[in-house]
Structures are given as C-alpha cells and as structure tokens.
Chains A and B, each alone.
Chain A
Amino acid sequence: MDALLQHLVNGLVLGGTYALLGIGLTLIFGLMNLVNFAHGEFYTLGAYLTFAGLALSGLNFFVALALAIVLGAVAGAACERLLLAPLRGQSIDTTMLVMIGLWIALQNGELLVWGGVAKSIPHPFPTAPFTLGPVSIAPLRVFVVVTALALIVAAWLLIQRTRLGRAMRATFQDRETAALMGVKIGRIHTVTFAFGSALAAAAGALLGPVFLAYPSMGDLASLKAFSVVILGGLGNLPGATLGGLILGVTEELGAGYVSSGYRDAVGFVIIILVLLLRPSGLFARAERIG
C-alpha cells in the first residue's frame, strides 16, 4: 500500500512533465498540421539555455528559467520564418523532412557546442524531500509540476479566451476565410510555432535541473510528446494534459508491478490500443480543432 501511494505520486509528477511536453507539440501538430520532429530539440535548447544562464552568466535561477523560455520562443519564431514560411502550402511530407533535417542539425550543433558530457544544472531548492507518511517528493519536483500545470492552464486560456487564440484557431480551420476577415496569416503561423517551441523550452528548462542536460535528451522527450499527442488527440489541449498524466501513471505502475524492463513497452501498448479502438485519440470530440 505504501509503495502504491508512492508509485501514484511518482506517476503523476512524471505525467505532469509529459503533459507539458505534449501540449507544445499538440498545438503545432494539431493547429498547423505540421509534424514537428524538432520539438525535442527545443526541449534540449531550453535545458542548455538554463544551464548557460546559471553556470556561465551567474543569473538567478528563476530569471534564467524565464529567459530560457523567451529565447526558446525567439528560436521557434526564427525557425518558422526561415524554414517553414517559404514552404507554406507545401505538402506535409516536405515540411516533415525539413523538420527531420532541423532535428539532426540542432542535435549535432548541441554536441559541438556543449560536448557529449552531461551537464548538471544547479537549482536553489533543498535536496531533502517533503515527506507525508510513506510518500516523499523533492521540493524541486513540486515546483516543476506546479509550474507545468500553470503553463498548461495559461496555454489553454490563451487559445480559448483571447483574440489571438481565436485568430489562431480560425487560421488553421480555414486560411482563406480567416485572411478575408483580416487575420494576418503569416504572423499567426510564426506566433503559433514560437508558442509551441516556448512550451518545449519551458519543459526543458524545468526538467533540466531534475535530470541532466545532454545533447540527445530531446529524443526521449520527442518520443513521449508524440505518445501524449496520440493519446490525447491532435490539437486537443485537455486531451494532451490527461494523456500525459495517464502515460506517466501507467508507465510507473507498469514498472512497479509488471516489469521495469518493459516500462516503455507498457506505454506503447496503451498507444496501440488507443490507435486501434479510438484512432482520433482518447478524448476526441465529434469534431476536433484543425
């Protein structure tokens, strides 16, 4: 029983971070109809930017975190302007190949700049865990989950409740009509991609200090993000959030009670089942965005 409680807490904490990874990707995937293979690289970028801010420039932890997120958005915007804008209207395969190229280039760039040795990112939280009966959790993890959930809610509000969010949804539902209504299509594309990248960078900045920063860290993140998006349905923010939590808890319980060797397999079995039984995602409504 004690172990079960701890497993559930671990799973929810892990799931919260999966959710944060997933929503950035689901935005870009669902709204822009773009398979962003470079998503994990923005995650890596976020982690290294935080490391650079802290270890090299001696910034405050929270300032470095915020700066990493802002720079992640800038990098995303630049990438959309330079690589994706010229390809607008091309088939999904073309942009997919470009994103694979960007993924490889960024990952090797990171290897070149930072080297292969993992970096440990310092943080100001005490290492002694909070304990509640049999359950313990590190203060840093609490901070990460709370921030992740806050970012998810903020993202949802932005999409659903603001003019910009409405313009984004309109653009990706029907470009021509949105353009006729006065929406600046080019700008919306850039903003959406920058927003999705900023969320990935935020995940990297938050999780970098929990784990370690190394050039290939984005691969696993990408994999989890795609899983979450498939679970939740394309472009579905609440779906991605729940999908992340479900994936986290399932992996944790699978590792705890079935076999830790098949930890990742447990997650994938669920995804296969979802694809077979509910191909548009667990939480797909009759009509989805995008």
Chain B
Amino acid sequence: MSKRRWSLLFAALAVGAFLAPAGFAQAPIKIGVIEPLSGPVAASGNYVRMGAEIARDWINAKGGVNGRKVELVIEDNKSDPKEAASAAEKLIVRDKVPAIMGAWGSSMTLAAMPKLEEYGVPMVVETSSAASVTKRGNPWIFRISPPSEMEALGLEQYVDKLGAKKVDFLAVNTDWGRGSIQAFGDMLKKKGVEVGAAEMMEQSATDMNAQITKIKSTGGDTLFLTTAVEQITLVLKQSQEQRLTRKVITTGGSSSPTQLIKQAGAAAEGSYHIVFFMPWFPEAMPDGKLAKAFVDEWAKRGFPFEGLTEGFRGHDGIATIAEAIKIAGKDEPKAIQAALWKVSFTGVNGPIKFEKDGPAGKESGQSKPSIFVVQIKDGKVALPDFLAKK
C-alpha cells in the first residue's frame, strides 16, 4: 500500500469513529414526526415541532426511555394531504420508526392513516379535530386532541352566557372545517339556537369578502370561525373593513390569541377562543407546575410566545409515545400499540388516557383533553366574564 492509500484509510477510520455514537451503548429510539413545516399552516406545524423537541430534550436529560436516547425523525407534509401519506411511508419504510406523531390537520392525518394500517405502526394524533379520525376503525390511531364534538360539548354550558341567539359559520374547506360546522351546529340546534349561513373557504384563500358579505345579510349575532391563525387574522380584518359586528368564537384551538392581538390588532378585540392550553395563566392548568416549566423552557429557547397554544401539543404527543415505549419495554410497533392503551399520565393539557372510539373490534384510542375558553379584552388575553366571576 502506498503512503497515500494508508493516509486515506486512516482518514476513513477517523471519520468512522467520529460517527459512532459516543457514550450511548445502544442505538437511540426513533420517533417519527409529521407536521406542516411549510405551506399555508406552516406556523402551527413548526410550533408543534418545537414543543416535540422540548419533550425529547427533557426525556433525554432524564436518561432517555429504558436507558436509550430518544431521537425525532421529522418530516414536512407541506400542509398537503398527499405529502402526509408519502411522509408516513418514508418514515416507516426508510427510517423504520416504531411510532409516529402527526399530522396536524385532519385531512393530512386522514391521508396518512391507511399507511399506518398497511404497515402496522401506531400514530399519536396531536391536533386533528375531525370526528372521522377515530371513527374509521383504524386501531393504530391514538388521539390526544379533542374531536369537534367534544369541543362543542365543552362549550355547551356557556352558550346561554355568550348570549348567542342566531349563529353563522365560516370554516376552512377541509375535514376539520366541515366536521366542526356539523358538530357545533348540532349542539347549538339542540340548545334551541338558530343557525344561519354555513360558509366555507379554501385553506389558501386570502380574500373572504364574499363570505363575509353573505354572512352579514343573515342578521345573526354570533360567528363561529374554524381555521388556522393566518386565516382567522384575515377574516377578522376583513370583517372590520365590512363593518360586520358579531361575537366571534374560534374553534379548534389553533387561534393563537397572542398572535391575533399582534397581527389583527383592534379587529381581534372581544373575540372568544376555544383553546387547549392557557400559557397566559399556566397555574390554572391541571398540572400547573409542568405547564409553568413548559412556558419557561419555551421562553428560554427564544421561541415566540404566540406559538405556545400549538407547541404544547408537540410536547404531549411525544411524551405520550415515550410513556408507551416505557410501558412496552421495547420499541416495536405492535408492543407500543398495546402499551398506548395502558398510558395514564398528566401532560401540559391535562390527564392523558385513551378510551375506545369507533367501530367495535377495530377501535381507535381517544383521550379526553381539557378545554378552555379565553377572550381578547383590551388587547390582552383574559378569562371571559362568565368564567372570571367564579
């Protein structure tokens, strides 16, 4: 061997030594993450990713799961259902992840679901609200976010206090939006509230004036708005331009009131928001200490405060999967699926424990998350009067 060959060999060995895991005897446990990191709802997806990374770092700082480090394999679904399905396939086939968290929007989650069944890998659903996610008989689905029905039920007790007599709906034209109109519409009709217009908007639409003009002509008093924060901002601004005076209630927990105050300004004043995390008053959460720690860690990392109402989902999703792997004792898809049914702990949102949902024999898991209502008052996020007086 020539001198040059020898030095090449040494170089190769040195690189090999560098790549080998230093200090961890075993390979890390991989967890797949599918989120919209680009496209119209990218902001939300990125916040969920940040929350997931906090959960990963916290778990690893405490020695990992079963003595092994947790590693996240993160895929971008580009806010597109087609991409969500191929991301799931890539994670399962190429990265061989034993469990996945995803995929934010209901349409994206629903598109990824057949892949889970095909390969037999469980997915913890952290955001999606459409009822169909847990009703399709996919036993690999475990949802920690509330379906719209649960949200509607959570709001039922406040309908009288909100003083809604006739409501209109404006929702994004996805499984989530359509499901939300159905669920809240049913609940309100049962309460004797009149339902006016039910308008849709495309996920990428920016001009909602036509819908607003139509809603204006119904003479209702309350508007239920279901979409991501970007579109909520636009609808609030355009409603102001058209002098639409309604009580606005956003559903789905993706409204990020803090971002609305920043971007919609006065147009957001007085609006109500259904949220699943209240970073403004973390001590009021079921586990105040954990919630406070999460808010502090988020701030320490320099993440924007307005992302917290999405970010906690990432934390709770990864914590749920880690908990299941701990119970299973191994990172094998089938064992994790079985263990997910035994998971019982408190996340940032509150207690996480799965109950059966969907057709018998092929049930999905559905946890019962905590649901809160906040209001934007004087440019700040506060508890609505009917809650604060208690």
Contact = CB atoms under 8 A, between A and B. Distances in A.
Interface of A: 2-3, 6-7, 10-11, 13-14, 108, 111, 115-118, 120, 127, 129, 131, 136-138, 141, 211-212, 214-217, 219-220, 251-253, 255-256, 259-261, 263-264
Contact of A10 (B43, B202, B213, B263): B213
Interface of B: 37-40, 42-43, 45-46, 79, 173, 199-202, 204-207, 209-211, 213-214, 216-217, 230, 233-234, 237, 240-243, 262-267, 304
A55 B129 CA distance: 36
A21 to B, nearest CB: 12
A129 B243 contact: yes
A116 B317 CA distance: 22
Nearest to B234: A211
Contact of B210 (A129, A217, A220, A260): A260
Given A3-B214, A127-B265, A255-B210, 19 more contacts: A3-B213, A6-B242, A10-B213, A14-B207, A14-B209, A111-B38, A116-B42, A117-B43, A127-B267, A129-B240, A129-B243, A211-B207, A212-B206, A214-B40, A217-B206, A220-B205, A260-B214, A263-B201, A263-B205
A253 B213 CA distance: 11
Contacts of B46: 115-117
B266 to A, nearest CB: 7
B274 to A, nearest CB: 21
A115 to B, nearest CB: 7
B237 to A, nearest CB: 8
B202 A263 contact: yes
Contacts of B243: 129, 131, 136
A118 B243 CA distance: 24
A289 to B, nearest CB: 31
A6 B209 CA distance: 9
A216 B38 contact: yes
Contacts of A214: 40, 42, 230
Contacts of B241: 127, 129, 136-138, 141
Among A13, A251, A263, chain B packs the most CB atoms within 10 A around the CB of A263
Contacts of B79: 216
A51 to B, nearest CB: 12
Contact of B173 (A127, A136, A141, A261): A261
A194 B154 CA distance: 56
